Structure 1
């Protein structure tokens, strides 16, 4: 589910993608409504870069971002399966396998980009 990014969300996005100058998607010309899709689709050069960027988050910031996925505020449907798989590996490593499995269910039920 897309949302309006909070100031904290914008801070996280800019921490993850310092090259983010504005919050507009070049493809749709609309404002970013999530953190992970622009990170994966616009700023990360590959899966390893995606993980490296996510690794910049503190434990509290990472837990917040995963919480936003879990409560339906952070969209994951626009992320390719390869990128999502690397996110799951990081969630397993930093949080737990149980949370990772929960995210798989969320990903599978996400309606995608829309």
Structure 2
């Protein structure tokens, strides 16, 4: 389910990717509709950098992202497997194994649009 980024979404994106100056995906030519795919695919240098950026999120911000994942509003389909694995591990450490398992299942159920 695509969404228009809210002020909170933009604030989170700017915090984890301060170099972000616009919200247009260079690959698809459409505006960002999620936070994690552009963070993984456009701003993070590698998986370790992605994890470093994810660790900047407060518990409230991480819970917010997880709620969006569960509602289907935050896309995971285009996030590389290695990155999602680190994200899920971080969710497990900070929010618990049950929530992390549900995030992992959401990723497994998603697919990147063609």
Please report the TM-score for the alignment, with normalisation by the length of structure 1: 0.96
Which range moves more in the overlay, 4-13 or 104-113? 104-113
Q: What corresponds to 1:38 in structure 2?
A: 38
Give the total of aligned pairs: 114
Report the alpha carbon displacement of residue 111 of structure 1 after superposing the two structures with TM. Answer: 2.6
1:75 to 2:75 alignment: yes
Q: What corresponds to 2:13 in structure 1?
A: 13
Report the alpha carbon displacement of residue 9 of structure 1 after superposing the two structures with TM. Answer: 0.4
> Match of 1:38, SS?
helix
- Superposed CA deviations along residues 19-76 of structure 1, whole A, max 9, x for unmatched, are 0000011111110000000000000011111011011111111111111111111000
Q: Structure 2: state its 5+ residue gaps.
A: none
Moved over 2 A (4+): none
